[in-house]
């Protein structure tokens, strides 16, 4: 049976990023060709990935929307081929804010939806997730990718992100999405200054306390370079692993990363330490 549930027997899940785009901030163009994307998906499976998140539209700061037809051309053949070749234990996720793209992806073998707008961009997204009974990741974002980093403002970023995600949970429930199929992502880098990202990492336990699985996507993001000697995105593996360990220690359920094996090891160490902590 293909994975269609968020909560598994394992203490955490590793979500591998598969950008079928020419312009993603870290690996744009590397997996635009279908054959390269499928090969990378298979390689992530060999490294122990739990979910492969496939996207055909970059959501980096400054990115412009990609037409639905283009997104489908980029992701649907990849999803079909991966579903035929990967183990049934591995879930496929579609990273899109378009219900039409999500529907095509589900028909091609995807069984999760990852929506960076938390269902706000397309009014059909939440009903689609409900109708198919699939997990949906609701991510916090201030603004649109094209302008979200121009001047993001918060008085208390952790409290405001929690409140806005709670409101999107209410919308999902009203649309018929089952509570057990909802996950929350604080949206690091999506309409946040560097200090907002650090505050959200420090406040992960407050997000976890909302009662839904939390997805953390810090992998290779620019704010990590500010404390890593200005390293390029591809050189931020160790910094990303640090956020993975912090996330697991705080109770994060899903780690969305580019580098599967190293982050799986970091998560396993953090989980072992968490389990060994004395009861309070």
- Convert the pLDDT of each residue in 146-191 to its tens digit: 766 788 899 999 999 999 999 999 999 999 999 999 999 999 999 9
pLDDT at 6: 62
Q: What does the pLDDT look like over 115-131, one tens digit per residue?
A: 999 999 999 999 999 99
Query: Which residues, 6+ apart, have CB-to-CB distance to 264 below 8 Å?
Result: 14, 47, 48
Average pLDDT over residues 188-208: 96
More confident residue, 202 or 62: 202
Q: Are 117 and 141 in contact (CB under 8 A)?
A: yes
Q: How far apart are CA 207 and CA 250, in angstroms?
A: 9
Q: What does the pLDDT look like over 71-92, one tens digit per residue?
A: 999 999 999 999 999 999 999 9
DSSP for residue 181: G
Q: How far apart are CA 201 and CA 240, in angstroms?
A: 12
Average pLDDT over residues 221-227: 95
CATH class of 48-53+78-217: alpha beta
34 by Cβ neighbours in 10 Å (0-12 / 13-18 / 19+) ranks as: middle
Residue 254 pLDDT level (bands cut at 50, 70, 90):
very high
pLDDT higher than threshold 90 for residue 29: no
**Which pairs count as long-range contacts for 233-237, CB under 8 Å and 24+ apart, including other chains?**
233/25, 233/26, 234/26, 234/27, 237/262
Would you state the structure tokens that stand for residue 213, as one six-digit string?
């699985």
DSSP for residue 65: P
Q: How far apart are CA 226 and CA 240, in angstroms?
A: 13
**Which residues is 80 bridged to in the sheet?**
none
The ranges assigned to domains in the chain are 48-53+78-217
Supply the pTM of this predicted model: 0.93
Query: Which residues, 6+ apart, have CB-to-CB distance to 157 below 8 Å?
Result: 192, 196, 199, 200, 203
Say which of 60, 220, 221, 264 is annotated catalytic: 221
pLDDT at 144: 79
Say which of 141, 192, 256, 264 is annotated catalytic: 256
**Which residues is 51 bridged to in the sheet?**
15, 91
Average pLDDT over all residues of the chain = 92
| Residue 256 annotated in active site | yes
| Residue 192 annotated in active site | no
pLDDT at 2: 45
pLDDT higher than threshold 70 for residue 27: no
Q: Are 44 and 53 in contact (CB under 8 A)?
A: no
Provide, rounded to the nearest whole percent, the portion of the chain with pLDDT above 90.
82
Closest CA to 58 of 116, 140, 141: 116
């Amino acid at each position: 049976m293909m994975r269609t549930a968020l909560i598994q027997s394992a203490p955490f899940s590793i979500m591998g990023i598969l950008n079928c785009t020419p312009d993603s901030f870290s690996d744009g163009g590397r997996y635009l060709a279908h054959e390269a994307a499928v090969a990378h998906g298979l390689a992530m499976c060999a490294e122990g990935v739990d979910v492969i998140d496939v996207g055909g539209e970059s959501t980096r700061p400054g990115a412009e929307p990609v037409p639905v037809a283009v997104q489908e051309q980029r992701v649907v053949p990849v999803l079909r081929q991966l579903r035929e070749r990967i183990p049934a234990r591995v879930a496929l996720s579609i990273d899109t804010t378009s219900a039409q793209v999500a529907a095509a992806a589900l028909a091609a073998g995807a069984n999760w939806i990852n929506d960076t707008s938390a269902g706000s961009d397309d009014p059909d997204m939440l009903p689609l997730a409900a109708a198919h009974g699939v997990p949906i990741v609701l991510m916090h974002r201030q603004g649109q990718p094209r302008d979200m980093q121009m001047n993001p403002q918060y008085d208390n970023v952790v409290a405001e992100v929690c409140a806005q995600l709670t409101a999107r949970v209410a919308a999902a429930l009203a649309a018929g999405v089952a509570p057990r199929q909802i996950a929350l992502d604080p949206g690091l880098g999506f309409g946040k200054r560097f200090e907002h990202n650090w505050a959200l990492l420090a406040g992960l336990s407050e997000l976890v306390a909302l009662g839904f699985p939390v997805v953390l996507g810090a992998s290779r993001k620019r704010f990590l370079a500010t404390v890593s000697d200005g390293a390029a995105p591809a050189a931020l593996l160790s910094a990303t692993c640090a956020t993975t360990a912090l996330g697991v220690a705080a109770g994060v359920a899903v780690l969305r990363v580019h580098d599967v094996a190293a982050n799986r090891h970091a998560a396993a160490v953090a989980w072992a330490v968490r389990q060994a902590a004395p009861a309070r």
